[in-house]
Amino acid sequence: MIAIDTNLLVYAHREDSEWHEGAVGLLKGLAEGTAPWALPWPCVHEFLAITTHPRIYVPPTPSKVALQAIRVWIEAPTCRLIGEGPGYFEILERLVLQHRIAGPGVHDARIAALCLHHGVSELWTLDRDFSRFGAPKTVNPLASR
């Protein structure tokens, strides 16, 4: 299963992004496909925080519009929302200790741990920081576009 990181959600949503068309195409392909794909809850929350932030985007996305974008993604029949559950903490603990994660890196460790917890094989992201965990495999799906 593939999971989608925040940056691809933002690029798909924000038409002013240079990667908008590619990101929209990727999400549309996943949503219209038959294979399950995942959205980690922290990425959903971060998408909402980033797109509605007036110091990041001028103008920011109105909350109602950002929430509607999320609703469209999560209503795709193949979309799975992934969050913490029994056994998650042990994975997070291992990642944090093994890779000496602290501060802001904990957010990335949380996403990686969620992916591992739910059997995600690939995390689609433009963020190279996830590669330090070794798993799941990170893929920049826009690199070849």
Domains and CATH numbers, the chain: 2-139 (3.40.50.1010)
State the burial class of residue 140 (Cβ atoms within 10 Å of its Cβ: 0-12, 13-18, 19+): middle
Residue 59: pLDDT band with limits 50, 70, 90: very high
In this predicted structure, the answer to whether residue 38 has a pLDDT above a threshold of 70 is yes
Q: How large is the angle between the packed helices 63-74 and 6-13, nearest 10 degrees? A: 110
**Mean pLDDT for the chain overall:** 93
Q: Read off the pLDDT of residues 4-20 as tens digits, 9 standing for 90 and up.
A: 999 999 999 999 999 99
pTM recorded for the entire structure: 0.91
